[in-house]
Structure 1
Amino acid sequence: MRELSVSVLPAISDIDPAEWDGCGADATPFTTHRFLAALEASGSVGQDTGWHPSHLVARLDGRVAGVAPCYLKTHSQGEYIFDHAWAEAYARVGGRYYPKLQCGVPFTPVTGPRLIAQSPAVQGALLQAMAQVAQQNGLSGAHVTFCTEAETRLGEEVGFLARASEQFHWQNQGYGSFDDFLAQLSSRKRKAIRKERERAQGFGGTIRSLTGDQIRPEHWDAFWAFYQDTGGRKWGRPYLTREFFDILHDTMREDCLLVMAERDGAPVAGALNLIGRDALYGRYWGCLEDHRFLHFELCYHRAIDWAIAQGIPRVEAGAQGEHKLARGYLPSQTHSLHWVADEGFSNAIAEYLRRERLAVDQEMAVLTEMGPFRRG
């Protein structure tokens, strides 16, 4: 018999980067040791943030065989799989929804492995450990957000509830240029995008796509101002600290694509993407000047340009946003898993999820039909 054990780490620095990434955590940039370490070292998660690192590490005969990025949460901000209504309903009947255990990447609605292991047995052990940690510590439940479809099936087998949501992704069909992509759209949509891009590019300045050593520290100074503006309007305060971007520059600038708009020599808007093996991930956008359609140009069209040039199969432009549909980003299903300690509450959520899944399936079908691509 081989011995399998799972332990909890209060900091990502408590495990060697090679051991963490060696389990397959580098499938996306966001689950790598370097990204999670940047969040912790910068103070973006940890004390006073409501995100308290509680990472799971599975060991088989003493050797690291699987990991899962986990956090003890005292709120539901920065998750993008919304359970605020669950928390309110539980509180109305005298329950305490927080704290809860959250498996996922903070502030990052990107699908990828969460039960990071080669063996399904180890993945199952990580799931069971989440439920045990929640139960032993009096937590309301354990949640796995933006996991893979295969992980969802495994979770259902061990008693987790599956939830379906949607995002909008652009798929590269082997296009040689942006015009090749436009040729697949209806005439009306094709003309609209061309006019949109012409208007955006005529804002009175230049647009540059930067990666690796092309990104300089002063670019992060400018982007921090953009990020603060967007974060202040959307969330009340930005999730990430200024130091996070300095660490990102030091450890991950080869993973970054920064699209910057400059006018009269000064940056006025920017969009940050992270580069994965098979996808370009749009993350943050911000501006100091309002120019019509510049947001769409920097976040969506330039991302498509770059993905085509680099042969990247997919662009994921973040959570929500039906406005992405007209720009070639079609509905794509995302997945999450939920284990709820209270049986009655769990049954109520299961019924809610059943109804929600039907609504999501219907909406995705309608939106796909409304997409900009030529019929036939």
Structure 2
Amino acid sequence: MTSRSTSPERTSRIVRRHSLAALDESDWKALSEGNPFVDWRFLNDLEQAGSVGKPAGWIPYPIADEDINGRILSAASAYLKEHSHGEFVFDWAWARAAQGAGLSWYPKLLVASPFSPVTGPRLLGSDRHPQAASRVIEELQRIVLEHGLSSAGINYCTEHDARLLDQAGWLSRYDWQFHWSNRDYGDFDDFLATLRRRARKNIRAERRKVQESGWTFRWVSGQDISARELELATRCYLSTFALYGNRPMLNAEFFRRSAASFSDRFLVCIASHADEDLACAVFWRSESTLYGRYWGSLDDTRDVHFETCYYQGIDYCIRHGLKTFEPGAQGEHKIRRGFLPVKTRSFHFIRHPGMHRAIAQYLKAEDQALMRYREHLETLSPYAE
């Protein structure tokens, strides 16, 4: 696939690339709104470490709308996909339906942050340059039609993106995640005071059990992390995937690069017992948000999981004045620990008219089920008010 230029009278042009390295880092970063998972460094680290690429079934194909001086106005981290792994917006049923109808679902085009179910700008610059972002949408559609792909998807997008995609007629889909919000708490006890008695009692019991068992915790950043601690993060990540029989897409080189790239915005919370590091959780942060991404353990540490992944993160946010904690996808059990449902959005352009109609009908039924689910979630809130 080659780059496509716009007509001469236009004051901008669309370009297609085969690597993020072919696009200007500073322009890209200026449009990423501080979100680490669409940051040029994060996406480039994935490429350079081999976590994405043809062997991984995530073929980089970034698209940008540039002005006449080559400055990026809008862009999308697009990938040609040969499977649906690592997306967290599940379309396996659509793939099976396509196969049953004698159609191919793969390859497809996806705009996403690989392996990262984190809402953020997917049409970079859509807030400042909506016309340029609309041209990127048109280019995504053009690629699907030109190359006979089944579809294009845009996962975990912002409301700015959503408005433009609604206008373009893409199919809308949503789901629920569970996030924690800092209500200007002074400390962890201040947070607990806002909960109902039972929730407060359960959290204190979970934390006390871990403490009395002799576990200790420390945070290290990419700026200070040692080679041994990075090795622990990699081993713990791999252990989780081995436990569930899944293929790990990240590797030691990615974690090494990301720690160096993000410095104090890359964080690892390490759980130790009897002076031995046995478990950890990997986080990234922005100015306002903590993102929990990867957990793993070298021992049976169920209770330590909740402390490392949730309570330590809440404590960190309170100490550092962060407003939001996003601990990852799924997990209704997070509600009783103070995390509440937040809507996530994705959009889909389906080439085949019959598949488009079938998926639209599917999404209509799914929407109704998800609204009923939200009503159920509201009854589980642990907060006293």
TM interval, short-chain normalised: over 0.9
Q: State whether residues 281 and 318 of structure 1, in contact with CA within 8 Å, keep that contact through their aligned partners in structure 2.
A: yes
Is residue 213 of structure 1 aligned with residue 223 of structure 2?
yes
Q: Aligned equivalents of 2:245 and 2:14: distance in 1? A: 35
SS at match of 1:185: coil
Is residue 78 of structure 1 aligned with residue 74 of structure 2?
no
Equivalence map 1:55-66=2 (5 Å):
55-63=62-70, 64-66=72-74
Q: State whether residues 27 and 112 of structure 1, in contact with CA within 8 Å, keep that contact through their aligned partners in structure 2.
A: no
Q: What TM-score do the two structures reach when normalised by structure 2?
A: 0.94
Offset at residue 235 of structure 1 (A): 5.1
SS at match of 1:48: helix
Q: State whether residues 27 and 113 of structure 1, in contact with CA within 8 Å, keep that contact through their aligned partners in structure 2.
A: no
Q: Aligned equivalents of 2:245 and 2:11: distance in 1? A: 45
Q: Which residue of 2 aligns with 1:94?
A: 102
Q: Aligned equivalents of 1:292 and 1:54: distance in 2? A: 40
Is residue 20 of structure 1 aligned with residue 28 of structure 2?
yes
Q: Aligned equivalents of 2:297 and 2:109: distance in 1? A: 35
Offset at residue 365 of structure 1 (A): 2.3
Q: Aligned equivalents of 1:122 and 1:325: distance in 2? A: 39
Offset at residue 322 of structure 1 (A): 0.7
Offset at residue 60 of structure 1 (A): 2.1
Equivalence map 1:140-179=2 (5 Å):
140-179=150-189
Offset at residue 344 of structure 1 (A): 1.3
Bigger shift: residues 276-285 or 91-100: 276-285
Letter in 1 for 2:36: P
Q: Aligned equivalents of 1:139 and 1:162: distance in 2? A: 19
Letter in 2 for 1:40: E
For 2:43, which of 20, 29, 36 is the aligned residue? 36
Q: Aligned equivalents of 2:222 and 2:60: distance in 1? A: 29
For 1:358, which of 359, 365, 368 is the aligned residue? 368
SS at match of 1:270: strand
Residues matched between the structures, number: 374
CA deviations on 1:237-263 (whole Å, 9 max, x unpaired) are: 211022101111221232112100112
> Structure 2: where are the runs of 5+ without partners?
1-8
CA deviations on 1:194-239 (whole Å, 9 max, x unpaired) are: 0001112233232112224332221111111111110122352211
Q: Which residue of 2 aligns with 1:200?
A: 210
Offset at residue 26 of structure 1 (A): 4.5
SS at match of 1:147: coil
Equivalence map 1:40-55=2 (5 Å):
40-55=47-62
Q: Which residue of 2 aligns with 1:224?
A: 234
Q: Which residue of 1 aligns with 2:326?
A: 316
Letter in 1 for 2:19: A
Offset at residue 62 of structure 1 (A): 4.0
For 1:107, which of 107, 111, 115 is the aligned residue? 115
CA deviations on 1:302-321 (whole Å, 9 max, x unpaired) are: 10000011111110010001
Q: Aligned equivalents of 1:8 and 1:20: distance in 2? A: 14
Q: Which runs of 4+ in 1 moved over 3 A?
A: none
Q: State whether residues 223 and 259 of structure 2, in contact with CA within 8 Å, keep that contact through their aligned partners in structure 1.
A: no
Letter in 2 for 1:35: F
Q: State whether residues 179 and 327 of structure 2, in contact with CA within 8 Å, keep that contact through their aligned partners in structure 1.
A: yes
Q: Which residue of 1 aligns with 2:14?
A: 6
Q: Which residue of 1 aligns with 2:5?
A: none
Percent identical: 38
Q: Aligned equivalents of 1:119 and 1:30: distance in 2? A: 21
Q: State whether residues 199 and 292 of structure 1, in contact with CA within 8 Å, keep that contact through their aligned partners in structure 2.
A: no
Q: State whether residues 231 and 239 of structure 1, in contact with CA within 8 Å, keep that contact through their aligned partners in structure 2.
A: no
Q: Aligned equivalents of 1:265 and 1:47: distance in 2? A: 42
